[in-house]
Amino acid sequence: MNFPEIKSLDESYVLQTYGRNQIAIDRGRGATLWDTEGKEYIDFTSGIGVCSLGYANEAWAKAIYDQAMKVGHISNLFYTEPYARLASKLVPAAGMAAAFFGNSGAEANEGMIKLARKYSFEKYGKGRATIITLKNSFHGRTITTLKATGQDHFHEYFFPFTEGFRYAEANNMDSLMAEADGDVCAVMMELIQGEGGVNPLQREYVQSVAKLCREKDWLLLIDEVQTGIGRTGTLFAFQQFDIEPDVVTFAKGIAGGLPFGGFLVNEKCRNVLRAGDHGSTFGGNPMSAAAANVVMDALTPEFLAEVREKGGYLRKGIAALNSPCVSGIRGMGLMIGVGVQGMTHKELKDRLMAEGLLCLTAGKDTLRLLPPLVITKEEIDKGLAVMAKVMK
């Protein structure tokens, strides 16, 4: 089918809940994609930070195929090797104590919220269930994670929302202290606010929050759905902030393109959720877990060093454009935000797409770049050449 045929079917039969780009993606290789009309693109999106190993990765595809031919799915009432093997890699590499596997970011955050409330309930009883999150955050699309998201425009239409969330200004301890009543059980935050505009939190702030959490026995909940699994140049971003979360969630990049999400807990939280407290039909299913094992095996110290190095190279390349459309460059590793001025971030994204470069937007004025972690220097250079053409 060509693009107009696909679009017409979609508009007839699919809920139109996305502001879609006006192309249909057909296939890819590495960090290069082709649309149904045969046009080639450099990909700085990886499907919103998902396809960490790029497209058509042989080891990834083979692991999924091989697992599908053994057993593609079986319920979590049985043990499976890919699941156990994955946990045995992820948990020690993150310095945590145990894992729970689900399917998506919002679901991972829901599990983390459940855990925080149960921890507090068992220790302190009722009335201590509030979770402080940050303004401008994003934690997901379920009724509870929408409410956890610190942006008012997500709190419309779908009443009643889950109670028990209050919002503090990022990088502002006074604002957090103003919410520090006796009803609080946890603080939940992203270390780089992704959807909110690629805003990294300040290191001193994050460390002060961690210290306050320890003093008050609030759980420190870190949402690494976007920043985790090598995206920022370490397995988790928290490892660059010198903090020890009680619970950390991950999702997007973990299985390289199959649905997968989950959370890791420290020793203190290891026995909070017990048999019957939490679960998932598909969570950690053997095919997704087999794919995630391939991603984890790829994330060697050398590979992560390359992610940091390529991120620096891309940021320098954008800075060197001296573009009048750029108001600033932020981010860590291959999670990069470019402040856009003189036109909207969406206009710039569309112009880059027309010239063969796919990017994302975030916040009000940010072009967001999340290339596959395996992107080559040549592919980065091709992307920069498109940026030079459009933005100079």
Ligand X SMILES: *Cc1c(COP(=O)(O)O)cnc(C)c1O
Binding residues for ligand X, rule: CB under 6 A, are 104-106, 109, 138-140, 190, 194-195, 223, 225-226, 251-252, 261
C-beta nearest to ligand X: residue = 105
Which residue, 30 or 230, has its beta carbon nearer to ligand X?
230
In the complex, minimum distance from the CB of residue 252 to ligand X, in angstroms, rounded to a whole number? 6
The residue whose two tokens read 């079917």 is 9
Which residue, 194 or 200, has its beta carbon nearer to ligand X?
194
Contacts of 374 (CB under 8 A, 6+ apart): 30, 31, 52, 53, 54, 57, 298
- Please check whether residue 24 is in contact with residue 8, taking contact to mean a CB–CB distance below 8 angstroms: no
In the complex, minimum distance from the CB of residue 259 to ligand X, in angstroms, rounded to a whole number? 8
Which residue, 119 or 263, has its beta carbon nearer to ligand X?
263
Which residue, 150 or 194, has its beta carbon nearer to ligand X?
194
In the complex, minimum distance from the CB of residue 235 to ligand X, in angstroms, rounded to a whole number? 16
In the complex, minimum distance from the CB of residue 142 to ligand X, in angstroms, rounded to a whole number? 8
In the complex, minimum distance from the CB of residue 140 to ligand X, in angstroms, rounded to a whole number? 4
Residue from 25, 53, 69, 28 nearest 255 by CA: 53
Which residue, 35 or 110, has its beta carbon nearer to ligand X?
110
Which residue, 140 or 233, has its beta carbon nearer to ligand X?
140
In the complex, minimum distance from the CB of residue 154 to ligand X, in angstroms, rounded to a whole number? 12
In the complex, minimum distance from the CB of residue 196 to ligand X, in angstroms, rounded to a whole number? 9
- Please check whether residue 207 is in contact with residue 230, taking contact to mean a CB–CB distance below 8 angstroms: no
The conformational region for residue 157 under phi > 0 = left, psi -120 to 50 = alpha, else beta, is left
Which residue, 43 or 190, has its beta carbon nearer to ligand X?
190
